Amino acid sequence: MAKGVRLVITLECTECRTNNDKRSNGVSRYTTEKNRRNTPSRIELKKFCTHCNKHTVHKEIK
């Protein structure tokens, strides 16, 4: 069976790890899909972080 081109990835907030003045403890994470052929590098998207209570950059993790 052939490998699929679309991968399920996890996006994690970059400011939650370094910022201690957050609204609550924890790290914001989103899951989405990406096409392996069109975007071979790691994705960075601006998403709303519920812990920072603002829009921040979310980077792809393993």
pTM above 0.85, yes or no: no
3-class secondary-structure state, position 18: helix
The 10s digit of each residue's pLDDT in 2-19 is 578 899 999 999 888 776
Backbone angles phi, psi at 19, to 5 degrees: -95, 120
Token pair 């996006």: residue? 11
Distance CA 54, CA 50 (A): 7
Structure token pair of residue 41:
């590098």
Structural domain contains residue 33: yes
* Domain-located, residue 1: no
pLDDT (tens digit, 9 = 90+) per residue, 16-45? 877 666 666 678 899 999 999 999 999 999
- Domain carrying residue 50: 6-61
Q: What CATH number has the domain bearing residue 13?
A: 2.20.28.120
Residue closest to 28 by CA, chosen among 40, 8, 46, 6: 46
Q: How many domains does the chain have?
A: 1
